[in-house]
Structure 1
Amino acid sequence: MREISPTQNWILITIVLAASGVIYDLMFYSNQTPIIGAIFALFIGMPILAFERKVLFRALYRRIQKLPTFAFIITELLIYEILMSIGFACAGLLLWWLGMVKPVSLLDLVIMPFEVFLYALAVCTMLIFVLRVRELLGREVFLSMLISRYRNPVREERVFLFIDLVDSTAFAEKHGDLRAQQLLSSLFATFAEPVRRHKGMINDYVGDAAIITWPLARGVKDARCVRCIFDILADIDANAAGWRKNYGQVPKLRAALHGGEIITAEIGVDHHKISYFGDTVNTTARLETLCRSLNRSVLISSELARRMKFPDDISCEDLGTHAVKGRGQALGVMALSSRAVTVLNTPAVILHG
């Protein structure tokens, strides 16, 4: 599936918003230049979408997310009204200054009519709903389900990265399940940006583990799958003080990379999901368990390693072949490490401030 950059994503959103303004003009102001409706729509809608995408007022958005559901909805609607009113006024004054509109009173340009508010709210709500569903499912999964790409099983090649949190059970026993879940939520949130940056997709969360995947060609290009895990480790390392302050320890991870042919299919009736089947997935999981016995934090199969050129700051250690449960032949294994990140192999120690 073709990659869509963040810039292309925003261009698409801009086109949809502008089109909604043109449609409104054609429906209610047929004697008016459609470009005027497009400008109003962009000025009204873009601030809301920027707010929802955490581009605008990110700290405020995070603060209201902590509110109870009813209070969150009311607060968000109030913010929408303020942003839309400001956008409407700015668009009106701009068009007046450019001589494109000649109102009877300037108040007509700065006070948004109620019907315009309802229309703009409906359009933005629809766009936000689509974006949130896409975030819930993942961009690739959302598009694949939309076009029914995997309704019939498809044979393809993919890279898988399994990441597991070390000593999560011990943390839960000491601090409780709720605190452990908060730690996992923070940790998985840390994964998001590196995965997005390296064009991957978080396929699933299983307990204290995350499964990340790429189409094979995309994952090995510029060693994206390898760069991804070490960017995650670097982010954790860079924020070590914050982790200690909030959770008493810095998370330590085990990770395994493998790639090959799999079967991809959309499964389920009431709840649909895109799942991957085959030896490649099972081998990646088994490879991750080898991290413990081999006392290494990041392992990669020799098969996958041969398909890419590693960055200069990544060193590779050949660990020979190892028997893997459920696989008929031994698997060549290599350990990866980075000079930019200090990865400890010893168990995590919970620190108390």
Structure 2
Amino acid sequence: MNRNSIVFWIFSLLAAAASGVFYGYFYNGKISAIGAIFALFLCIPPLLFERGNLFPRLFDRINALPTPSYIFCSLLANYLLIGMGYFVCGTLLWALGFIPGAWWQEAILPTSIWIYTLVILAVLSFVSRVRELLGRDIFANLLIGRYRKPIEEERIFLFVDLVGSTTFAEEFGDLRAQQFLGALFAAFAGPVRRHNGTIDDYVGDAAIITWPMQRGLRNADCVACLFDIIDVIESNSEKWLSEFGRVPRLRAALHGGPVVTAEIGVDHHKITYFGDTVNTTARLEQLCRSLNTPVLISSDLAARLTLPDGIRSNNLGTHAVRGKGQSLGVMALVRPRGKQSELVAQRA
């Protein structure tokens, strides 16, 4: 568990316990630890589900639904999880003698709490969907106005491009190509979340993922995220073949450095990044084609991190990056063990 996860759980559990104490005081006029215990049992299952730790495949399916279906299924799933938590907590506390009354009165979710829960979950589901649409970090930063004034910072960027998307669209049509891209980008969500990244934008058939420099360097999360994405695709190769007739192949480039981050827009606000670092990453991804190499990383970024186990780098020397006006040290990232044949990107 990384530092961000630890902070999240400490804050969430304290907030849940406090809300339980407040609920008990508001309705019963007394402060009791029972309310905090109930609140923790009610909140932990939905929190685990929302973060993809509980029933991850179900979470991914719900998360990929259109917004109306997502809200309905999310409400249903969370209500069932809350009911399960209430049942377990009520049964335990009743069996241990901490609460009086009949067992069924303490273990079955009351109608009043059921209605209250639906209202709260509707709001939380809507906010959660908006946060997922914008990106978790972007949503939080927009709320607190962190980038209202431009800030200079160091960030890592990962550009991931689908190989052969034009050919796929010519063969199956634009609608089918869009469904293919939608399924692919949905597969990115889990690895990006696990490795503390943020999907900043989708540009055509490419996704742009970013980290603050120190977060991306920690445990080489920026590199691990990419190969986690590849593993997720490989592990579902049969599903890809049955649904789309092919397994996605990717080109990717990693680079990091200084950028200016700012919130822009009036009617539509967006956090965007300015500077040579972003442009260089895009050009490095284009260089994958001429070098016939699926994964490239700049030598500058590679020198600042320790590669994960099983991944090694091959120095490809310096290359002129189109539009940059100077040469850039480039390295290929490879994984000697594994299904390398599925990782080789052909020239478009």
TM-score normalised over the length of structure 2 = 0.85
Work out the percentage of aligned pairs sharing the same amino acid: 55
> Do the aligned residues in 2 keep the contact of 1:20 with 1:123 (CA within 8 Å)?
no
Please show how residues 44-193 of structure 1 align to structure 2 within 5 Å.
44-53=42-51, 55-56=53-54, 83-103=81-101, 105-193=102-190
Distance (Å, rounded) in 1 between the aligned partners of 2:288 and 2:133? 31
Partner Cα separation in structure 2 for residue 259 and residue 65 of structure 1: 30
Letter aligned with residue 18 of structure 1: A
Task: Describe the shift of the 1:311–1:153 C-alpha distance in structure 2 as closer, same or farther (beyond 3 A).
Answer: same
Instruction: String of CA shifts for 1:255-296, please: whole Å, max 9, x gaps.
Output: 111111110001112222110001110111111111111211
Deviation of 1:306 (Å): 2.2
The letter for the 2-side match of 1:92 is: G
After TM superposition, list the pairs within 5 Å mapping 1:36-51 onto structure 2: 36-51=34-49
Corresponding residue of 2:346: 346
Matched, 1:215 2:212: yes
Instruction: State the 1:74 CA deviation.
Output: 6.1
Question: In the superposition, relative to structure 1, how do residues 123 and 16 fare at CA in structure 2: closer, same or farther (>3 Å)?
Answer: farther
2:289 aligned with 1:292, yes or no? yes
Q: Is the 8 A contact 1:52 1:128 kept in 2?
A: no
Which whole-Å deviations, capped at 9, do the CAs of 1:306-344 have from their partners, x for residues lacking one? 222334533333333222232132222222222124032
Distance 1:267 1:68, change over 3 A: closer
The worse-fitting range, judged by mean Cα deviation, of 44-53 and 64-73 is: 64-73
- Deviation at 1:50? 4.6
Give 1:351's aligned residue. none
Distance, in Å, in 2 between the alignment partners of 1:62 and 1:74 is 15
The whole-number CA distance in structure 1 between the counterparts of 2:241 and 2:120 is 44
Pair 163,17 (structure 1): closer, same or farther in 2 beyond 3 Å: same
In the other structure, the counterpart of 1:282 is 279
Q: Paired residues, what number?
A: 344
Distance in 1 of aligned mates of 2:217 and 2:61: 39
- Give the counterpart letter for 2:111 in structure 1: F
CA-based RMSD: 3.1
Q: Quickly say closer, same or farther: Cα 1:321–1:68, change in 2 above 3 A.
A: closer
**Deviation, structure 1 residue 79:** 5.7
Q: Which residue of 1 aligns with 2:33?
A: 35
Task: Name the TM-score, length of structure 1 as normaliser.
Answer: 0.84
Q: Distance in 1 between matches of 2:159 and 2:200?
A: 10
CA change 1:47–1:347 in 2 (3 A) is same
Q: Secondary structure at the match of 2:234?
A: helix
Structure 1 match to 2:11: 12
Letter of the 1:12 counterpart: F
* Kept in 2: contact 1:88–1:111 (CA 8 A): yes
Q: Which moved more, 1:67-76 or 1:201-210?
A: 67-76
The structural deviation recorded for 1:64 is 7.0
Residue 161 of structure 1 and its aligned partner are, at CA, apart by 0.9
Cα distance in 1 between the residues matched to 2:198 and 2:70: 29
Q: Letter of the aligned partner of 2:304 in structure 1?
A: R
Change (3 A) 1:180 1:133: same
Query: Is the 2:67–2:129 Cα contact (8 Å) retained in structure 1?
Result: no
CA contact (8 A) 1:84 1:117 kept: no
Higher deviation after alignment, 55-64 or 148-157:
55-64
Identify unmatched segments of 5+ residues in structure 1.
349-353
The separation in 2 between residues aligned to 1:66 and 1:135, in whole angstroms, is 11
User: Out of 190, 195, 199, which is 2:196 matched to?
Assistant: 199
Q: Which of 329, 333, 337 pairs up with 1:332?
A: 329
Structure 2 residue runs of 5 or longer lacking an equivalent are none
**Alpha-carbon distance in structure 2 between the residues aligned to 1:270 and 1:294:** 42
**C-alpha distance 144-73 of structure 1, shift in aligned 2 (>3 A):** closer
In structure 2, the residue matched to 1:272 is 269
Separation in 2, partners of 1:241, 1:60: 19
CA–CA separation in structure 2 for the residues paired with 1:136 and 1:171: 26
Describe the shift of the 1:316–1:39 C-alpha distance in structure 2 as closer, same or farther (beyond 3 A): closer
- CA gap of 1:19–1:283, structure 2 versus 1, over 3 A, is same
